[in-house]
Structure 1
Amino acid sequence: MRRNLDGSDRAIVERLSRDARVSNREIAEQLGVTEGTVRSRVKRMEEERQIRITAVTNIDRFKDAALAYIWIEVERSDQTKAIASALADVTELGFVGVMLGRADILAITMVRNAEHLAEFVHKRISVIKGVRGTRSTLGVNFIKHDYRVARIVS
């Protein structure tokens, strides 16, 4: 049974989203609960796949790379799920999502430059059966990049 996150769960997630290496003891002190409470809640949320604690690459440190957004249109809408699944198997892609709007799918990856992006799209994306076309953009200067973007918004 998967439960909704309550206020204490959200407070724990908020604290972990700032620094996932913080100790359960420190979180417990800040929230006024026991360390065991924090430990069991984190364990439950991980087991129920409500959270995942992981390391995140700091894209600000990659001076020779750009974030590439690849907008993909499919030939037929009933192909969208299969194409998105095929894209999810492409190891270089860090994000694949089915979208509403002009594009059917958005894929995100890191590339060295525009030439590298073009080569990647032509060799790895456009060859997938059912892909009608792609449009790409490069993010070159990030004003704000919040690593917690995937957190649960209350």
Structure 2
Amino acid sequence: MPTPSLDDFDRQLIEVLARDARVSNRKIAADLGVTEGTVRGRIRRLQQDKLIAFTALTGLGTQGETKLAFIAINAEVDQVRAIAERIATIPRVTGVLVTMGRSNIIAICLFEQLEELVAVASDQILAMPGVHHVETSIAVKTFKYNARVVKITGTSDIAENDD
């Protein structure tokens, strides 16, 4: 599948929406010097091409006593994709990344009780065939988090980018 291209107008439109996704198409059109129909059409194309999505982001503060943890996983190299896909099915896991470096998979997990994290890291992930080691890190203070850098991805991205 070819990668959709972005022109300068697309980038300007994305920047406006990244600052405030609730801004009206009429306001965007007036600010960028185009018609409202142009804005509406571009937004629709960007959504269809999965280059933008509109969603509500919640902060950890809305989750009560929820904590954020990262689970670094060392897995057999020839099984990384399959293991990452299995980890992605665990309900407590909110993100799975295949990485290069000390670990080859990072899982992001939200939990309220330490026992929940232990159950995910040890009882579920470490018990998977092909997983050799897990190491957990718990976020104790967040100094900066920018939700705007989140990329829209799916499991197919792993298959496309692991060659």
What's the TM-score, normalizing by structure 2?
Answer: 0.83
Q: Is the 8 A contact 1:17 1:151 kept in 2?
A: no
Which deviates the most, 117-126 or 36-45?
Answer: 117-126
**Residue 54 of structure 1: how far off its partner (Å):** 1.6
Q: Is the 8 A contact 1:69 1:108 kept in 2?
A: yes
Match of 1:97 in 2: 97
Identity of aligned residues (%): 38
Q: Deviations over 1:22-69 (max 9, x none)?
A: 221122122121111111111111111122222222223334111110
Match of 2:73 in 1: 72
Q: Is the 8 A contact 1:46 1:52 kept in 2?
A: yes
Which deviates the most, 7-16 or 108-117?
Answer: 108-117
Pairs within 5 Å for 1:4-83: 4-74=5-75, 76-83=76-83
Q: Is the 8 A contact 2:69 2:137 kept in 1?
A: yes
**Local SS of the residue matching 1:100:** coil
**Residue 21 of structure 1: how far off its partner (Å):** 2.2
Q: Is the 8 A contact 2:69 2:139 kept in 1?
A: yes
- Distance across 2 between alignment mates of 1:104 and 1:26: 45
- Distance across 1 between alignment mates of 2:61 and 2:7: 34
- Distance across 2 between alignment mates of 1:89 and 1:137: 20
Q: Is the 8 A contact 1:69 1:136 kept in 2?
A: yes
Q: Structure 1: which 5+ residue stretches go unaligned?
A: none
**Local SS of the residue matching 2:26:** helix
Q: Is the 8 A contact 2:71 2:134 kept in 1?
A: yes
- Distance across 2 between alignment mates of 1:29 and 1:35: 8
Q: Deviations over 1:89-148 (max 9, x none)?
A: 223222111100000101101111433311221233222221111001011211111111
**Local SS of the residue matching 1:132:** strand
What's the TM-score, normalizing by structure 1?
Answer: 0.88
Q: Number of residue pairs matched?
A: 151
Q: Is the 8 A contact 1:80 1:104 kept in 2?
A: yes
Give RMSD over aligned pairs: 1.9
**Residue 78 of structure 1: how far off its partner (Å):** 0.4
In 2 relative to 1, CA 100–65 (structure 1 residues): closer, same or farther, beyond 3 Å?
A: same
